[in-house]
Structure 1
Amino acid sequence: MSARPGRDRRAVLHRGPAGREDAPSTDVVVIGGGIAGISAATVLAERGVHVHLLEARETWGGRARSWDLGDGRSMSRGFHAFFRQYYTLRRLLARADPSLAALRDIGDYPLQLADGPRDTFRGIPRTPPWSVAAFALRSDSFPLRELARVDVRRALDLLRVDFPGTFRALDGRSAQDVLDGLRFPHDARHLALEVFARSFFADPREFSGGELVGMFHAYFMGSAEGLIFDVPSDAYSPTLWDPLVERLRGLGADARTGVVVHGIDSLPRPASDGPGGAPGLVVRTAEGDLRTDAVVMAADPLSARGLLGSTAAAVPGWEGWLDRVSAQRNAPPFAVLRLWLDRPAAPDAPAFLGTSGFGPLDNVSVVDRFERTAHEWARHRGGSVVELHAYALDPAAEEAARDGRLRDELLRQMHRLHPELADARILHEQWLVEDDCPLVGTEPWDERAGVDTPDARIVVAGDWLRTREPVALMERAALTGVQAANSLLARWGVRGEDWWTVPMTGVLRRARSRRR
């Protein structure tokens, strides 16, 4: 995998473990059929491991899944952007779709501040630091009279990052602290910065400042891929994840949805010794027990805590490690309202619009502009399919979600942005409130859990884990899946998977290193 995955000449290749090509006769159960689980299962199955991929829901994709509603309609948990620097995720998708034809560029994606400017990242240079300079000069969010207030030293520090050291250097600081210290103009802070912070489903006061800086670096200030993303051409599960699972079955994997796992226990040593000489495990499910040599726990944080806490592994350090996992909090709830309307959105309305200052509304997606099934529904009825998303609900909004007030407020805010839809009739609607997204808080970086556990037979994967690399969201899920698989393969002397990331250092630090 030496060919660069994108346009960034400074992208970094990380080597997986060396070893023989095929695994010994080995069984691994992967719990969780989201991105992390599918990623881990793929790497393991490609090395000859017999994989059982188990998903409790009825569709694949985890928090990026979709489900069919009939009548040409589907539902998901909200809009997901597939950025060009998601190298690991895109390489995973290319296993079943080599040309990535299932992804499409939606064009412009503006950010709108209420009663203020509208910004876009289209048309600016993609290579830092020119991207940063061009955006600031072009954007109405950075008026020249307010630029003098910016703390230039701290702003330049965003171009001097060095990961993972930067994560550690910002231990204990929240995203709010980082934003306060930069002293960016009001509009720029709320529009271009807090919009991104809230995309982690977190209040900036509780979200890690190190993760925020890592996000700035990965998406804008350290990567030449630019803030350009693609979206699936149709509903997530049948378009992206089902083809990958079918490929897994072709490699001999046992992949099943609707399977609930109840616990993981250690087998007595005489019953089974795995490839590393350790006794095997038994995974208890509603459909029967599975004996296995190892487990990849790729479930959401709450489920992972419950299942890992049920293990009977008498391993030194296990209880302390479980305490660290148990300290992992979930982010506040979020809400998604998808509407099937009897009239179309304005022709010039963007497919995706990030918002700030519109009450609880964080973005609006005109789904029929990019999802094929939604487009066909809208074309036949002369209408539109619109989705409203509210991140990180505060306690008042959470209460309002239960009695309909939040839904009504999201509609009111949508009508401010889309007055042409104010009198539209709602033919169908789907209302979803969930609270299972991880919160990366301000705790020390070194105290967060990674893919390895004290029990060599159990590894974990998911976007809630610590990584040395500045990646996030779906890319972190895909990468930790690769790293979890690599951890097991290395113990068995089998070659692992290489991976690419954005540069690990900022452009000013790289320039200084070259001068030295």
Structure 2
Amino acid sequence: MSRDRRIDTHPAPGGLPDAGLLGERPRVAVIGGGIAGLTAATGLAERGVEVTVFERESYLGGRAGGWAERLPDGTAVTMSRGFHAFFRQYYNLRALLARTDPGLDRLTALHDYPLIDAHGRVDTFADLPKTPLVNALAFALRSPTFTLGGLLRIKGPRALPLATVSVPRIYRQLDDVDASSFLTDINFPPAARHLAFEVFSRSFFADPRELSAAELATMFHLYFLGSAEGLVFDVPTEPFPQALWDPLADYLAARRVDIRTNTPVDAVTPHAGRFRVEPGEESFDAVVLACEIPGLRKVVAASQKLGTAAWRENIAGLRAAPPLVVRRLWLDRPVDATRAPFLGTGGLPPLDNISVLDRYEGEARRWARRTNGSVVELHAYASTEDTERVTKQLDRQLHEIYPETAVARTIGEITLVRQDCPLFSVGGFARRPTITTPDPGVVLAGDGVRVDLPVALMERAATTGWTAANALLGRWGLAGHPLRSVPNRGRLPWLDRLVRAEQ
């Protein structure tokens, strides 16, 4: 339930309530079973469209999915890419999850988000006021790194875009500047930068020197200055498959959605007014490409008759962010009871955060109680070093920050390295692919796809999924689905007017 009375609501496009009224139900192939693809499949299936989901992996959920593993002693566990924050302003993602969990009871709140820097200084977002701008002032006044003097030295006029974000205007203002240079230009205090901005910018899996300042500003608007939901977020009470995607798969199956895991798609070929998904001979009336960046590039490169040459060339030029390293440890003793479920770090490369899974996830909690142990996870975003070296560094930093883990025995460990997140590089917005394509029967969805709303990460994936479904539903005269977002403008109208006057 939203607490922000100023959220933007985009009503559902009108049309027929069910594709059965068309005489023949359209068939749609959704390529990719992550958040974007599952959202698009839901939007289409709820209007009676016949949907087939093709997913390369053995599991659903994409980068928020999970799969079965075993510890050395044979214990079955669910592995994933780890911690994801389901913020209260993720309206469109939460609308998807509410299909199977109306009260969102399979999510639980984490009320604190402590951040620690290299000097041991800790900032926290707990118990801050929810009112935008007031929340930023309160954070600054109590922060050990962001002093009042530092706040007063910020160059107000140059920092104005942070308080007046509107998409896509913010990209015209700041997309040609990198996030690090922008912070320097506005005289943002270096000590506070690690915690107030770089922790968030690295959640886009990019070094701030490579990240667009416009993307950083949009992020800060979404999570802080543009929303009255606050920085409280939820996490699933069980691993992602059990809490989120297995129930949604059942929901979709009840609506005749054919979900095919372990089924990669090589190419999409226009054929006799329809689209053939290869390998195979099946044809569909439309296609949703909801792959991650490397997968999208691969499919489009093999689909030489799809779209236009210029469009295919643009897709080929999309970049993935540097690798993400996830290291999960099953330890033979608990971490200190005072440790937060999630700790963000700033200025402590390569470590970006530490999660104690048994503090919030049921499967991990049950294992920890049975063994008197703990389940700890370490993330390194935008990692460019040798994996073995990063792994040793992460373990060493864990032992320094949580000394009790230094004497723990590791019962099990899994380390993942993935490089499939989109890179929101400087100047990249103009080349970012849109949901619609040169072919009206092909649409894109995913967190690397452009949508002109202040959304990011999982929420951008869900938003583009609903929007892609709406684009196809509109072709057939079927009713679409509503969208919501934080206000696509600053919270102070007079500041917005000032910025518009200077354009």
What's the TM-score, normalizing by structure 2? 0.95
Equivalences for 1:36-51 in 2 at 5 Å?
36-51=36-51
Partner of 1:204: 208
Give the drift of 1:359: 2.6
**Aligned residue identity for 2:161:** D
Give distance in 1, aligned partners of 2:205 and 2:306: 36
Q: 1:292 aligns with which of 262, 271, 284?
A: 284
Give the drift of 1:444: 4.9
Partner of 1:452: 436
Q: 1:155 aligns with which of 149, 152, 159?
A: 159
Partner of 2:346: 356
**Aligned residue identity for 2:305:** A
Give the drift of 1:446: 3.2
Partner of 2:322: 332
Mark the CA change 1:48 to 1:510 in structure 2 (over 3 Å): closer, same or farther: farther
Q: 2:378 aligns with which of 358, 368, 388?
A: 388
Mark the CA change 1:242 to 1:146 in structure 2 (over 3 Å): closer, same or farther: same
* Residues 359, 413 of structure 1: 8 Å contact kept: no
Give distance in 2, aligned partners of 1:305 and 1:408: 33
* Residues 28, 51 of structure 1: 8 Å contact kept: yes
Partner of 2:248: 244
Give the drift of 1:242: 1.2
Give the drift of 1:352: 0.1
Q: 1:225 aligns with which of 222, 229, 239?
A: 229
Does structure 1 residue 341 correspond to structure 2 residue 345?
A: no
* Residues 65, 76 of structure 1: 8 Å contact kept: yes
Give distance in 2, aligned partners of 1:439 and 1:341: 34
Mark the CA change 1:474 to 1:339 in structure 2 (over 3 Å): closer, same or farther: same
**Aligned residue identity for 2:365:** H
Give the drift of 1:106: 2.0
Give distance in 2, aligned partners of 1:289 and 1:220: 49
* Residues 121, 145 of structure 2: 8 Å contact kept: yes
Give distance in 1, aligned partners of 2:160 and 2:496: 13
Equivalences for 1:313-462 in 2 at 5 Å?
313=305, 318-394=308-384, 397=385, 399=386, 401=387, 404-462=388-446
Mark the CA change 1:502 to 1:314 in structure 2 (over 3 Å): closer, same or farther: closer
SS in 2 for 1:218: helix
Mark the CA change 1:314 to 1:440 in structure 2 (over 3 Å): closer, same or farther: closer
Give the drift of 1:12: 0.2
Give distance in 2, aligned partners of 1:79 and 1:284: 34
**Structure 2: tracts of 5 or more residues without a match:** none
**Aligned residue identity for 1:497:** H
Give distance in 2, aligned partners of 1:154 and 1:456: 41
Mark the CA change 1:53 to 1:512 in structure 2 (over 3 Å): closer, same or farther: closer
Give the drift of 1:293: 0.6
Give distance in 2, aligned partners of 1:16 and 1:480: 14
Partner of 1:280: 274
Mark the CA change 1:320 to 1:202 in structure 2 (over 3 Å): closer, same or farther: same
Give distance in 1, aligned partners of 2:125 and 2:69: 35
**Aligned residue identity for 1:165:** R
Give the drift of 1:508: 2.1
SS in 2 for 1:230: strand
Give distance in 1, aligned partners of 2:129 and 2:151: 21
Give the drift of 1:11: 0.1
Partner of 1:55: 55
* Residues 269, 306 of structure 2: 8 Å contact kept: no
**Aligned residue identity for 1:223:** S
Partner of 1:471: 455
SS in 2 for 1:7: coil
1:447-482 CA deviation, whole Å, 9 max, x = no partner? 321111101111110000111001000000000001
* Residues 168, 446 of structure 1: 8 Å contact kept: no
Give distance in 2, aligned partners of 1:106 and 1:148: 32
Give distance in 2, aligned partners of 1:312 and 1:512: 45
Give distance in 1, aligned partners of 2:400 and 2:130: 32
Give distance in 2, aligned partners of 1:420 and 1:448: 46
Give distance in 1, aligned partners of 2:84 and 2:438: 34
Partner of 1:497: 481
Give the drift of 1:311: 2.0
**Structure 1: tracts of 5 or more residues without a match:** 270-278
SS in 2 for 1:101: coil
SS in 2 for 1:480: helix
**Aligned residue identity for 1:351:** P
**Aligned residue identity for 1:336:** V
1:340-360 CA deviation, whole Å, 9 max, x = no partner? 000000000000000012230
Give the drift of 1:443: 2.1
* Residues 51, 254 of structure 1: 8 Å contact kept: yes
* Residues 332, 435 of structure 1: 8 Å contact kept: yes
Q: 1:22 aligns with which of 5, 11, 18?
A: 18
* Residues 239, 361 of structure 2: 8 Å contact kept: yes
Give distance in 1, aligned partners of 2:494 and 2:259: 44
Mark the CA change 1:238 to 1:445 in structure 2 (over 3 Å): closer, same or farther: same
Mark the CA change 1:408 to 1:239 in structure 2 (over 3 Å): closer, same or farther: same
Give the drift of 1:511: 6.7
What's the TM-score, normalizing by structure 1? 0.92
Does structure 1 residue 193 correspond to structure 2 residue 192?
A: no
Give the drift of 1:314: 6.5
Give distance in 2, aligned partners of 1:513 and 1:165: 13
